[in-house]
Amino acid sequence: MSAQPTPPANAAPAANSAPSAPAAGGKDIQEVWHLGLDSQDEHGEVVFNHKTHATGNYSPDGKSQIACVECHHTDQPKSALTGPLKTSERDATLTMAVFQKSDQKVSTCRTCHFQDGNVPDGKEMPQATYTVEGNSVTKDLNNELAYHINCNTCHDNALAARPELKGKAGFSGSKDCLICHKKN
115-154 residue pLDDT tens:
888 899 999 999 988 888 999 999 999 988 888 889 999 9
Instruction: Report pTM.
Output: 0.76
pLDDT of residue 36: 81
pLDDT of residue 151: 92
- Is the pLDDT assigned to residue 25 strictly greater than 60? no
| Three-state secondary-structure class, residue 129 | strand
| Three-state secondary-structure class, residue 33 | strand
- Is the pLDDT assigned to residue 19 strictly greater than 60? no
pLDDT of residue 164: 95
Per the DSSP assignment, residues forming a β-bridge with 130 are 137
pLDDT of residue 2: 37
pLDDT band for position 184 (cuts 50, 70, 90) = low
**CA distances (Å), origin 175, targets 151, 157, 159, 171, 178:** 12, 13, 12, 11, 9
Q: In a 10 Å sphere around its CB, with 0-12 CB exposed, 13-18 middle and 19+ buried, how is residue 71 labelled?
A: buried
Provide the mean pLDDT of the chain. 83
At 143, give phi and psi (nearest 5°). Answer: -65, -35
User: What are the counts of helices (DSSP H) followed by strands (DSSP E) for the chain?
Assistant: 4, 4
pLDDT of residue 92: 94
Per DSSP bridges, beta strands 46-49 and 32-35 are antiparallel
C-alpha torsion angle, residues 109, 112, 117, 120 (rounded to 10): 130
Per the DSSP assignment, residues forming a β-bridge with 127 are 140
pLDDT of residue 44: 82
**CA distances (Å), origin 87, targets 15, 58, 117:** 39, 25, 22
Cα–Cα distance measured from residue 80 to residue 156, given in angstroms and rounded to the nearest whole number: 24
pLDDT of residue 38: 77
Return the minimum-mean-pLDDT range out of 22-26, 67-71, 83-87, 164-168: 22-26
pLDDT of residue 26: 59
- Is the pLDDT assigned to residue 9 strictly greater than 60? no
- Is the pLDDT assigned to residue 51 strictly greater than 70? yes
Share of the chain above pLDDT 70, in %: 85
Alpha helices in 56-102 (DSSP H): 96-101
